[in-house]
Amino acid sequence: MPGVVEELVAAIGAEQVVTDPAVMEGYSHDEAEWAPYDAPAAVVRPRDTADVAEVVRICASGGVAVVGRGAGTGLSGAANAGRGWVVVSFERMNRVLEVDTVQQTVTVQPGVVNDDLRARVAQDGLWYPPDPASSPWSTIGGNVATNAGGLCCVKYGVTRDYVLGMEAVVGSGEVVRLGRTTAKGVTGYDLAGLMVGSEGTLGLVTEVTLRLVPLRRGVEHTVVGYFDSLTDAGRAVAAVSAAGIVPSALELIDRFCLQAVDEWKNMGLSAEGEVLLLARSDLPGTSGQEEADRILECFEKEKAVYAVRSTDEEEAEALFQARRLAYPALERLGPLLTEDVCVPKARVPHMLEAIEAAGERFDTRIGNIAHAGDGNLHPLFIVPAGDEEAKGRAKQAFEVIVDEALAVGGTVTGEHGVGLLKMRGAADELGPHVLAMHRAVKGALDPAGIFNPGKVFALREERD
């Protein structure tokens, strides 16, 4: 693609265009261990929307595929490059453009890191709730692309619930504004919402306006419960929901994952049982204490071997930090494939049991972490490096778990996206008519077919 690369250099400057293969390798894929990728023709690091528009115009004219990239923390292969593609990295578009304290909104560029955004708006007494486990590294653009969730989304919702509007580059390089900045607005289709979770298949988002809420004050009340089995822990999760309790977090981590974190970080955490549930209430005053006590009752009722409302804030925070570190801790043990199914909360016990059964059936080691409070489960498949037979068994277990999630009324992805790893499952979930609707939307917004082709809802012939 020398012609396209030369055009890019001429249009936006040589300092914005990377062609060194050694440097491009780090930009060519996300963290989905088993998702395929290839060498791009160039990596572009735009400074502003005008640069992005030029890149899209040149690529559309030359028929060159484009994939956007945030921090590369994705787990589905959605940010992976194909041979000869152009990767657009938003690392230099990382400014908080405006905080509106009256309207309680913030407008940012896509390269802003989630935790950096939270710290900035906290200065004005405001809070941005979506908090994926990768929040110290992941960017708002990537969060928008995958409709990221997080630990507190059981109560506060996911990225889509906070996106009011955006600027995006679509088609052959057109810059459009979608959505709104006002508290209310019902003009036309929700095209901004359509872009959230589209995984870069409809265009490149260059600016986002997000809804904020008042910063939480006071102490969160943490409840810790250990259980002897995944099924018992799942029943406790269902019991919390059945009691009408909406905690600010309800997380699951099994002993295997907790020990992996401990061995890596020497945090001195010990497990009293096979599975740990972590719950929090952020209600103010005595209401929070009362809600935490009700959660504790649910844990004890469902056979917790040890359950307590923590009075040590540092210890409680260490346990939640261990939950966030579980994925990178397991990565140290070998190639890791992560699942991301979401099921109705009442079916969490059954689904955890099904995951355990799949591991036994295919002789595959599966660790378990989960945003258990909203039914979003993340079984983690650990395979010895270079063991292709074990990798094959893990893939079989992966697909069986996808099918079981669909069978109980669930979805193939709660927050990681479809990317390259979930295309078969997504097609089964949506069905042919709805899949055709998705493809029709893509054809309308991406007539040149350059945005992340061959992924998510691609036709079979595009993937082969």
Of 168-172, 225-229, 315-319, where does mean pLDDT reach its minimum? 315-319
Q: Is the pLDDT assigned to residue 444 strictly greater than 50?
A: yes
Can you give the pLDDT at residue 271? 63
**SS3 assignment for the chain:** CHHHHHHHHHHHCHHHEECCHHHHHCCCCCCCCCCCCCCCCEEECCCCHHHHHHHHHHHHHHCCCEEEECCCCCCCCCCCCCCCCEEEECCCCCCEEEEECCCCEEEECCCCEHHHHHHHHHCCCEECCCCCCCCCCCEHHHHHHHCCCCCCHHHHCCHHHHEEEEEEEECCCEEEEEECCCCCCCCCCCHHHHHCCCCCCCCEEEEEEEECEECCCCCCEEEEEEECCHHHHHHHHHHHHHCCCCCCEEEEEEHHHHHHHHHHHCCCCCCCCCEEEEEEECCCHHHHHHHHHHHHHHHHHCCCCEEEECCCHHHHHHHHHHHHHHHHHHHCCCCEEECCEECCHHHHHHHHHHHHHHHHHCCCEEEEEEEHHHCEEEEEEECCCCCHHHHHHHHHHHHHHHHHHHHCCCECCCCCCCCCCCHHHHHHHHHHHHHHHHHHHHHHHCCCCCECCCCCCCCHHHHC
CA angle 288/291/295 to nearest 5° reads 135
Q: What pTM value is reported for the model? A: 0.93
Average pLDDT over residues 173-201: 95
Strands 365-371 and 249-254 come out as antiparallel
Residue 152 has φ and ψ, to the nearest 5°, of -100, 10
Can you give the pLDDT at residue 461? 45
To the nearest whole number, what is the mean pLDDT of the chain?
Answer: 94
The percentage of residues in the chain with a pLDDT greater than 70, rounded to a whole number, is: 98
Q: Is the pLDDT assigned to residue 207 strictly greater than 70?
A: yes
Can you give the pLDDT at residue 335? 83
- 389: exposed, middle or buried (C-beta count within 10 Å: 0-12, 13-18, 19+)? exposed
Can you give the pLDDT at residue 211? 97
Can you give the pLDDT at residue 336? 87
- More reliable by pLDDT, 411 or 34: 411
Of 6-20, 131-145, 448-462, where does mean pLDDT reach its minimum? 448-462
Please name which of 121, 145, 256 lies closest in space to residue 195, comparing C-alpha atoms: 145
Q: How confident is the model at residue 417 (pLDDT cuts 50, 70, 90)?
A: very high
Of 247-256, 310-319, 379-388, where does mean pLDDT reach its minimum? 310-319
- 184: exposed, middle or buried (C-beta count within 10 Å: 0-12, 13-18, 19+)? exposed
The percentage of residues in the chain with a pLDDT greater than 90, rounded to a whole number, is: 84
Average pLDDT over residues 105-130: 98
For residues 373 and 236, give the distance between their C-alpha atoms in angstroms, rounded to a whole number. Answer: 10
Can you give the pLDDT at residue 97? 98
- 114: exposed, middle or buried (C-beta count within 10 Å: 0-12, 13-18, 19+)? buried
Average pLDDT over residues 169-190: 94
Of 118-122, 175-179, 315-319, 453-457, where does mean pLDDT reach its minimum? 315-319
On whether the CB atoms of residues 216 and 127 are closer than 8 A, the answer is yes
Residue 376 has φ and ψ, to the nearest 5°, of -95, 105
Q: Is the pLDDT assigned to residue 313 strictly greater than 90?
A: no
Of 201-215, 257-271, 409-423, where does mean pLDDT reach its minimum? 257-271
Average pLDDT over residues 175-196: 94
Q: How confident is the model at residue 322 (pLDDT cuts 50, 70, 90)?
A: confident
Q: How confident is the model at residue 217 (pLDDT cuts 50, 70, 90)?
A: confident
Of 34-43, 294-303, 381-390, 430-439, where does mean pLDDT reach its minimum? 381-390
Can you give the pLDDT at residue 270? 64
